[in-house]
Amino acid sequence: MLQSYTIYTQDGNLIRASLYGAENFGEQPCVIYVHGFKGFKDWGFVPYIGKKMEENGFCFLTFNFSHNGIGESLMEFAEPELFEKNTYSLELSELSEIIALCADGKFFGNENHFPVFLLGHSRGGGISILSAAENEKVKALVTWASVYTFERFEKSEIQQWKQQGFIETKNTRTGQIFKLGKDMLNDILLNKGGKLNILNAVKRLNVPFLIIHGDKDTSVHFYEAEQLNLYSSPSTTHYELIKGADHTFGAKHPFEESTPELERAIQATIEFYKKIS
């Protein structure tokens, strides 16, 4: 059963969420899906993954970060003013609140305590790593096509960013032009060596960690997965490079059909979670 929720954070920001397997919440592990840059909870393969997780005995929570730009329609980037004000630290804080809601269960109508797992894609992988390193409620972590650093901008871009207070980024799917505001830049510059340093967080991970990446990923090269694997503990980390897989494992939005690469990523993720739970 799929159930929708509206969540307000401690700062009063609106988060829209969907829970697959809602009728079993508190009786089986809950996987929290963390979307990436210009991603959202209903993008392409996400509902498909949710149904697969539900079929295999997991609850699956998807949510939109409050400032990801997606509006009430759930499919359209209708809130560019929020997108411009987004920061990594804000996403990290919101994920922490979502984890707490899942861990205590009260918000979802069940106070039983079952494990909370994370599944982060792309930038959401980086956010998930940071969270898992600090949050003892997270019992397992899987990343798909994860970044290994948030310092992804050229010096010329940063200089332009400083001068005009924003830089622009294009959504290649919709053609929309979005702005990244000065809050994002300040967040990067102030915290790149501290709370937003993904590789430092990887070193501190003490939960089972599965890294999945495609060898044809042109958005986040698999070199980044290799760096995550290099910095993590060999006793708790597994790395799977999927041949022929791109950044979304062949899936598109709107979702039309699965692919062998996506099926392999899902299968590996489910097998990993089942060994732990």
Judge whether 80 lies within some domain: yes
The parent domain of residue 267 ranges over 2-150+196-276
Look up tokens 């000065």; give the residue.
182
Judge whether 182 lies within some domain: no
Judge whether 141 lies within some domain: yes
Judge contact between 99 and 116, C-beta under 8 A.
yes
Structure token pair of residue 174: 């919709």
User: How many domains does the chain contain in total?
Assistant: 1
Residue 106 has pLDDT above 90, yes or no: no
DSSP-derived secondary structure letter, 174: T
The enclosing domain of 88 has a CATH number of 3.40.50.1820
Look up tokens 């290994």; give the residue.
148
Model confidence band, residue 99 (pLDDT cutoffs 50, 70, 90): very high
Q: Which residues contact 123 (CB under 8 A, 6 or more apart)?
A: 36, 37, 39, 147, 150
Per residue in 28-54, pLDDT tens? 999 999 999 999 999 999 999 999 999
Judge whether 97 lies within some domain: yes
Structure token pair of residue 255: 């979702």
3-state secondary structure of 10: coil
- Measured CA to CA, the distance from residue 45 to residue 249 in angstroms comes to 9
Judge whether 123 lies within some domain: yes
Per residue in 111-133, pLDDT tens? 887 899 999 999 999 999 999 99
Q: Which helix (H) or strand (E) holds 104?
A: helix 88-104
- Measured CA to CA, the distance from residue 116 to residue 242 in angstroms comes to 26
Judge whether 171 lies within some domain: no
Task: Give pTM, 2 decimals.
Answer: 0.98
Look up tokens 């993954």; give the residue.
49
Judge whether 258 lies within some domain: yes
- Measured CA to CA, the distance from residue 108 to residue 228 in angstroms comes to 33
DSSP-derived secondary structure letter, 47: H
